[in-house]
Structure 1
Amino acid sequence: MTTDPVTTIGDVHDRAADAGVTISTDAVEHAHDLYTTLQSQWVDGEARHVPHDPDTLAACLYAGIRSEGDAIAAGEFADAVGVAVGDLLSRVNAIAGVVDTPVSRLDPEAFLERYCEQLRVSPGVAGLAYDLLERGRESGAIVNRTPRVAAAAALYAAIREQDAGIRRRDVEDVAGVSGPALRDAYVDIEEAADIHTTEKERTPATVESVRQNVEQIHDQLREQGVPAVAFDRAVDVLEEDTSWFRGLQAATAAAALYYYACKAVRVDVSQEEVADAAGVSTQSIWTNRERVPFAVGDSG
């Protein structure tokens, strides 16, 4: 939740800018339009379930970002303006329902353009990255990846193919994704495009690789107040049973394990927050819910 006084869309925009998040003028204008519509509906009593508070201002701005296609992930924006990513996405959906406007999913292409600019890659590398991204989409290689991971993976696969001399760590830093998530994704894209790859570069779901991914997820989420008991519960289950994650990639197994460990110890964390920290999609968590050895009543 926000802590400093925030009373306008401009205040939220300024906070994001101070954190280094650049938002397009179109997105800001769209946010103002959404908020104006909300204000009229508050007067008419049609938007009573959407609180009139600073988090709604933040949600209006992020809805504008999504609608205009700015390459800004929910977690990145939430951190910049001081809101919880789960609360942000929930409020965005509520606003979209009230003002009857769709909030589209961000496309990987928007992130890819941003990463190419930040890393100053050549036109040849950029062109190949876009081609690999499309091949990854057609083959299903990126279907369960977040837009950030998909874009970063396509770019790094292009960098490798053209020996562009940019380190994987540089791509990870620019995209804000974990090493295992990027590695698994670019290997899948390379396989789909039939370009060089080695099986040893894939991160199989071993006890050690899953634990490393769980640690990375927890390192990010503990800053949002997730207690150590969630991490401890996930590790306990991992040490007790190693059969359930066979055939899964490490990042996917870790995300599902961590989310349902949180559920088991009654820690309030959303699938969106865990998926964003792991660099996988929420669908990856949901589709593997029955594999994780937890007797959790709420598996949503």
Structure 2
Amino acid sequence: MELFFKYLEYEKRYSPHTLTSYHTDLGQFAQYLQDTYQITDPAEADHTIIRSWILTLVHKNLEARSVNRKIACLRSYYKFLLGQQRISANPMLRIKAPKVSKKLPAFVPEEPFNHFLDSFTFEDTFEGQRDRLILEFLYGTGMRLAELIGIGHEDVDLHAKTVRVLGKGNKVRIIPLNDTLVAAIRQYLEHKKSLFGNNNSERLLVTNKERPLYPKFVYRVAKKYISLVTTSEHNSPHVLRHSFATHLLNNGADLNAIKDLLGHASLAATQVYTHNSIEKLKSIFEKAHPKA
């Protein structure tokens, strides 16, 4: 299993988030094999045993998306074992993934959220300006949580108004910064220098103890402020990424440009946002057209 994880990290270049998820998934599967079948080596499991684990997950009312991720983990693992000649046949070839109902990406309403960012008074402290910068970065660039945490001082070019981020598959992309975001960065840097001296930290965004931010920290900040704008349960950092794309599309941005800004590998991943725009058009049509 350790060889498998090294393969994913160094050869397949999987993101840290995916690696953590796969560690959890494969660990749970190995524990199930041991507890239920007294099997200590997952290579010994056949398709019926694997299917029994999947059924157990379904009976626990686990979401189809989560089940499919665990199946994807096992597909990668047994494909790896086959390549290493640890098994003679791939048991995952006989496993079917459950269907996932398509959900439209959740997003915050455009006018209320923009009004909030423009009018809310963040404390003129390191903490207050850092929180503001986290929100401005997520909504102003559409970057992923892991990309935000990974930004270094050298990645930000305030003169050119750009930020360089390392996305999935170690792909680097350059994202433009709006004037509000540039001003927020400058203000944050002043507070950071005042508190810690000459920015010794490699990362741009840090905690009160000058340590790199971590996912739960950013989740707490996003939830705290998004909850002031909407009563929706969807208040994670990723919702601001969805909002970035949806609001761009609603205001006439080209789909290919949004794809590049988000760092999507294919246009298919970006097209999901067109559904939100179509729903908005339907709403306008139903309110305005005499025959609607």
Alignment TM-score, normalising by the size of structure 1: 0.31
Give the strand-richer structure, 1 or 2: 2
Structure of greater relative contact order (alpha carbons < 8 Å, 6+ residues apart): 2
Alignment TM-score, normalising by the size of structure 2: 0.32
Bigger radius of gyration: 2
